[in-house]
């Protein structure tokens, strides 16, 4: 999917060095929360849970305990439990018509990324239902993961009478099939091993789609390490011309890396954890459109939003003092970026089109980038009276960032609610 280029906007963002003068003290807050197995898990500054914990503690210190401050629903991570399902049998598999719908659902909802070739998966699906014994194990693994994600995203009332556990059964079966291939030193060409990178990335997306972000973070980290082994993070430096790999496979491999970058930044920010892809390790060419065309593709704005998220995690959240110029540069970029406005997104009536879903997910990433840039400054509104006196001369800038944090949050909520009202999707993985 191609997007036109706005000639007067510079899509490349880099922070301009700022003076050490007039830096504002900001608060950081991290905590340990219980997961569904009652194990403690670290949640860092950028996570919503840390944000709420900080507000609750501040309100309790200023106003005393209340139903809000003592609400224990925030003492645990909102993670769905994962329990090993019964083994998958041939009788559990969905009918072919249902499988066609699930594959379409996957490619519609995940259209802001590029992990799989749709024509290839559809051909594997047709072969699987016609001559299952001829389907190779790696191909079957990819098909099972595609179906499991489709089940996770779809409305259960519109599916036939499969068990509630089918999506987990398909996932576990795919993971079992992939284990013998989880070795880099296998016979084959340089790009053969990228298949397992696809598998890990799909597993991460499945966990995200089933509200298991801790596990998604684990799979995403494994995928990044595999990508490093393959050298995909270096872009043109490691794309050797004399390999016999077809051009379309090279394009897909580059886009798999770009998709991995998007998930890595999103998961790191939502959990308050370190990013797996270090800014010092990847080359700029690895995140560029692989075709070398001046026409932008659908992954470009998602990558650009996630670059801002990564810059925020590195330049604001680890600091105790931040110059206003840092968030202002980021906000100025996001505000003028032509892809980060939601005007008319629901007007064309294509509620289930891949183009509209890609656009919605890009908007959500743009909203989220704005929110995490502004959130530390919004928290300054909760300071006590003594601390507020130190904000003289900066209150107008704090108010501006705070208002943007609130307005972007409300816009994100409206967009998610509008999507739910006109489509059959029960959950958007990027809806926080």
| Distance from C-alpha of 203 to C-alpha of 218, rounded to nearest angstrom | 10
Nearest one of 331, 333, 337, 356 to 422, comparing CA atoms: 356
- For residue 109, give every residue at least 6 positions away whose Cβ sits within 8 Å of its Cβ, in sequence order, or none: 153, 357, 425, 428, 429
| Kind and range of the H or E run holding 51 | helix 48-63
Domain count, the chain: 1
Tokens describing residue 99: 């499988």
In a domain, 429, yes or no: no
| Distance from C-alpha of 283 to C-alpha of 99, rounded to nearest angstrom | 38
Does the pTM surpass 0.85? The reply is: yes
**SS3 category, 34:** strand
| Distance from C-alpha of 135 to C-alpha of 143, rounded to nearest angstrom | 10
Q: Measuring CA to CA, how many Å separate 306 from each of 73, 147, 219, 287, 300?
A: 29, 27, 18, 11, 10
In a domain, 44, yes or no: yes
Using only C-alpha atoms, the chain has a radius of gyration, in whole angstroms, of: 23
The HSE-up count of residue 158 (CA atoms within 13 Å, CB side) is 16
In a domain, 427, yes or no: no
In a domain, 121, yes or no: yes
Spell out, as residue ranges, where the chain has pLDDT lower than 70: 1-7, 20-22, 72-76, 91, 155-164, 182-193, 240-245, 291-294, 342-352, 383-393, 423-427, 432
In a domain, 244, yes or no: yes
State which residues form the domain around 154: 2-422
In a domain, 70, yes or no: yes
The HSE-up count of residue 280 (CA atoms within 13 Å, CB side) is 1
In a domain, 432, yes or no: no
pLDDT attached to residue 76 = 67
In a domain, 430, yes or no: no
Q: Measuring CA to CA, how many Å separate 307 from each of 113, 174, 277?
A: 15, 31, 11
Tokens describing residue 270: 């939502």
pLDDT, tens digit, for every residue of 87-102?
777 767 889 999 999 9
């Amino acid at each position: 999917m191609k997007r036109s280029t706005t000639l007067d906007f510079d899509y490349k963002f880099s922070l301009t060095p700022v003076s050490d003068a007039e830096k504002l003290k900001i608060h950081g807050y991290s905590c340990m929360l219980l997961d569904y197995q009652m194990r403690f898990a670290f949640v860092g500054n950028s996570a919503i849970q840390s944000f709420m914990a900080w507000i609750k503690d501040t309100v309790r210190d200023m106003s005393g305990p209340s139903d809000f401050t003592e609400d224990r629903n925030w003492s645990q991570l909102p993670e769905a439990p994962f329990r090993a399902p019964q083994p998958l049998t041939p009788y559990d598999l969905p009918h072919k018509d249902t499988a066609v719908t699930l594959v379409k659902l996957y490619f519609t909802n995940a259209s802001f990324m590029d992990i799989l070739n749709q024509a290839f998966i559809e051909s594997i699906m047709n072969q699987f239902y016609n001559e299952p014994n001829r389907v190779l194990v790696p191909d079957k693994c990819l098909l099972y993961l595609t179906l499991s994600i489709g089940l996770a995203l779809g409305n259960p009332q519109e599916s036939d009478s499969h068990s509630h556990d089918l999506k987990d059964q398909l996932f576990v079966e795919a993971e079992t099939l992939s284990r013998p291939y989880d070795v880099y030193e296998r016979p084959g060409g340089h790009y053969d091993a990228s298949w397992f990178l696809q598998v890990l990335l799909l597993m991460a997306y499945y966990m995200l789609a089933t509200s298991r972000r801790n596990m998604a973070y684990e799979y995403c980290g494994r995928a990044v390490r595999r990508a490093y082994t393959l050298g995909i993070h270096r872009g043109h430096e490691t794309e050797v011309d004399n390999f016999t790999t077809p051009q379309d496979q090279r394009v897909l491999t580059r886009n798999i890396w770009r998709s991995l970058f998007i998930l890595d930044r999103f998961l790191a920010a939502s959990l308050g954890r370190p990013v797996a892809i270090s800014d010092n390790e990847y080359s700029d060419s690895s995140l560029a459109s692989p075709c070398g065309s001046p026409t932008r593709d659908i992954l470009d704005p998602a990558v650009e939003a996630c670059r801002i998220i990564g810059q925020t995690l590195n330049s604001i959240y680890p600091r105790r003092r931040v110059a206003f110029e840092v968030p202002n540069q980021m906000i100025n970029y996001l505000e003028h970026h032509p892809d980060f406005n939601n005007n008319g997104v629901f007007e064309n009536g294509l509620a289930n089109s891949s183009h509209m879903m890609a656009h919605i997910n890009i908007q959500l990433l743009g909203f989220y980038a704005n929110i995490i840039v502004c959130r530390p400054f919004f928290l300054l509104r909760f300071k006590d009276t003594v601390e507020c006196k130190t904000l003289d001369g900066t209150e107008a800038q704090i108010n501006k960032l705070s208002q943007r944090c609130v307005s972007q949050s409300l816009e994100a909520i409206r967009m998610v609610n509008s999507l739910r009202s006109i489509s059959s999707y029960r959950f958007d993985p990027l809806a926080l």
